[in-house]
Structure 1
C-alpha cells in the first residue's frame, strides 16, 4: 500500500544556490519489496520532478508519475503549499 511518509519544506540558500522546495516522500511496502518515492515541487523554477528507489536501483520519475503520486496524496492530505500554478 502506498502512503505518504513525510512532507518537508526546504527554503534557503545552500552552496550559494537559492532553493524553495516542498518535498513529498512516499513509501510502498509489500512482502517482497519496499519502494520509496520522492516528489519535489520547486517554486523557483516552477517544475515538478521526482525519483524512486525500488528493487535496489534508483530511477527518475516522469512528470506524469509525479502528478499521479501528488493526486493520491491529495485524497487524504493537504499540500504543504498550493502548487496548482505550477501544474
Structure 2
C-alpha cells in the first residue's frame, strides 16, 4: 500500500500530461492529415510561409499551386489548415 501511494503523484502527472498535451496533439495531427487528403483541384489555399494560391495539380505528397507570380510545387504538409479555412470562410 505504501508503494502505491508513493507512485500516485507520478501516475496522476502522466494522466494530466496525456490529456492536456499528447491527446490534443494527436487529434490535431489527425485533422491535418484529413485536410491534406481532402484537398482538391481548384481549392484556394494559403501556405504556412504565407503564399496565397489555387491548387492546380495534386500528386501523392505534393501539390502544384498557381500564384500571381506563376506556379509553385509544394508539399501538401506546407499548406496551412487554419489560414486556408479562414480564407475560404471569408469568401
Answer yes or no: same fold by TM over 0.5.
no
Q: Which has the higher strand share?
A: 1
What is the TM-score of this pair, normalised by structure 1? 0.29
User: Which structure has the bigger radius of gyration?
Assistant: 2
What is the TM-score of this pair, normalised by structure 2? 0.28
